[in-house]
Amino acid sequence: MSCSLISPELGTTFFSCKQRSLPPKLGLLRYNPQQDLGFLDSLKFNGKKSRHQRIYGVPSPNICRAQSLVVKCCNNPQNVDLPRYYSKKEKKPFPVPIVELRRAARERMKSRKGQPKRSAPPPKNGLLVQRMIPLAYATLNARTTLINTLKKLLKVVPVQACNPFHFGRYCNEIHVGPVGHPFRSCQGQNSSIRKGKHEWVDAVVDDILVQIEAYHLYDRLGKRIPHEERFSVPRIPALVELCIQAGVDLPEFPTKRRRKPIIRISKSEFIDADESELPDPISQDPKPMLLTEIPDWEIVPPSNAEQTVLLAEETLQAWEKMRGGANRLMKMYPVRVCGYCPEIHVGPTGHKAQNCGAYKHQQRNGQHGWQSAVLNDLIPARYVWHVPNLEEPLLQKELRNFYGQAPAVVEICVQGGAAVPEQYKPTMRLDVGIPSSVREAEMVV
């Protein structure tokens, strides 16, 4: 939602304000005193003019008069709220409600009634989905490219992170800019004593890209990992584990590849088919080459502004390619997340390790509450404040409601010179004007 202040003397300025009782999906209104008089007269409620309309000549829900300025509010996609923040004491909602899942299951049972039982398609039968193998390699290469380009961009685009060594690793807030934001929102150790004040230091790639780890499974259809074996199973980034299960072969992380579908005995029991009669596997087309991460001491920053812009655009493309590929892989290969903590498990069923330390974990004996994961669970998008004016990067506390936010990677690329993608413009509030003073901000309705 946005507000436009219109006056012949002051011109047009865009501000943001809270949504009141506005009709949904109302487009952006632009008021012209000479052309829109008939339109304003036609806006009536139940055939009668409201008290505000009789006095000022404009309807109050959509257009408000403040002194000599006409203020209009509408649901404009340029101003969209961020995804809801769920506290640690609240369980994450299911991506699909339980009622819908049960209804879909009943419909499937009715449609299959009286029909012969079908064999499970891949990957449920243990085989790989061949068309997803190139996508898995491309997604993993996009992740490597993103890490390499971010290391180069951090040499020219300053990024600040709240000091983890002084306050503990409880505050994960970062800010893109030479100076950290002044908002007192630190949630680190002893934040109440410091009144929420941050202590900013230079950020690294791990502060921008949150590495969510998961257990590496040798057999993704095998038995669930028990609590006693939680330390013997290696943990790797969850996105890498997803790409491995989708067909990427990494020598350091071996995995079982079947050439025949499994023989299902019951819902939770199966045996592997005999593959001794099959001929030796013939070398197929060479698989795509995997990229490697560049060490920190070999990072060379861009030398001029043109190279910085190209590097920012490459970083943004790698970010979108990685998220798009991971989203497509998650639709084919199941990924589970705990509803109480950020624990991720790549596989049809979650592990049995009792290491959940979320709110009231004692009542669950440390067991995780597994549910289907979404893309932000696998690749968290860390939102940071968008700096509208790079010449004056210092934000003001009083104008906090007028600033937008964007994922940290997107904000870094935008400050590096890349164009803003369309899907991130609503939360960045690019068309919302920033008042020059606190008094001007108080005039916004």
pLDDT tens digits, one per residue of 340-360: 999 999 999 999 999 998 988
Between residues 289 and 52, which one has the greater pLDDT? 289
**Looking only at Cα atoms, what is the longest distance across the chain?**
90
Buried b (16+ CB within 10 A) or exposed e, 287-298: eeeeeeeeeeee
Confidence at residue 164, expressed as pLDDT on a 0 to 100 scale: 63
Q: Are residues 336 and 390 in the same domain?
A: no
What distances in angstroms separate CA 213 from CA 16, 93, 116, 242, 379, one per listed residue? 39, 22, 41, 11, 11
Q: Is the pLDDT of residue 44 over 50?
A: no
- Mean pLDDT, rounded, of the chain: 81
For residue 190, being part of any structural domain is answered with yes
Question: Contacts for 282-290 with beta carbons within 8 Å, 24 or more apart?
Answer: 287/133, 287/137, 287/249, 288/134, 288/137, 288/138, 288/141, 290/137, 290/140, 290/141, 290/144, 290/248, 290/250
Q: Are residues 140 and 260 in the same domain?
A: yes
Between residues 28 and 334, which one has the greater pLDDT? 334
- Of the pLDDT bands very low, low, confident and very high (cuts 50, 70, 90), residue 42 is very low
For residue 168, being part of any structural domain is answered with yes
pLDDT tens across 381-392, in order?
889 999 888 778
For residue 327, being part of any structural domain is answered with yes
For residue 415, being part of any structural domain is answered with yes
How many structural domains are present in the chain?
Answer: 3
Confidence at residue 389, expressed as pLDDT on a 0 to 100 scale: 82
For residue 405, being part of any structural domain is answered with yes
Angle at 374 between CA 368 and CA 376, to 5 degrees: 100
Q: Are residues 141 and 163 in the same domain?
A: no
Q: Are residues 250 and 362 in the same domain?
A: yes
For residue 84, being part of any structural domain is answered with no
Q: Are residues 315 and 225 in the same domain?
A: yes
Rounded to whole angstroms, how far apart are CA atoms 125 and 253? Answer: 22
Q: Are residues 261 and 291 in the same domain?
A: yes
Q: Are residues 165 and 146 in the same domain?
A: no
Q: Are residues 223 and 317 in the same domain?
A: yes
- Mean pLDDT, residues 168-187 taken together: 83
Q: Are residues 192 and 233 in the same domain?
A: no
Confidence at residue 291, expressed as pLDDT on a 0 to 100 scale: 93
Q: Is the pLDDT of residue 69 over 60?
A: no
- Of the pLDDT bands very low, low, confident and very high (cuts 50, 70, 90), residue 443 is confident
For residue 110, being part of any structural domain is answered with no
Q: State the virtual CA torsion across 237, 240, 246, 248 in degrees, nearest 10.
A: -150
Q: Are residues 232 and 326 in the same domain?
A: yes
Confidence at residue 437, expressed as pLDDT on a 0 to 100 scale: 78
- Of the pLDDT bands very low, low, confident and very high (cuts 50, 70, 90), residue 170 is low
Confidence at residue 63, expressed as pLDDT on a 0 to 100 scale: 39
Q: Are residues 168 and 251 in the same domain?
A: no
Q: Are residues 191 and 174 in the same domain?
A: yes
Q: What residues make up the domain containing 254?
A: 121-151+211-278+285-378
Residue type, 218: Y
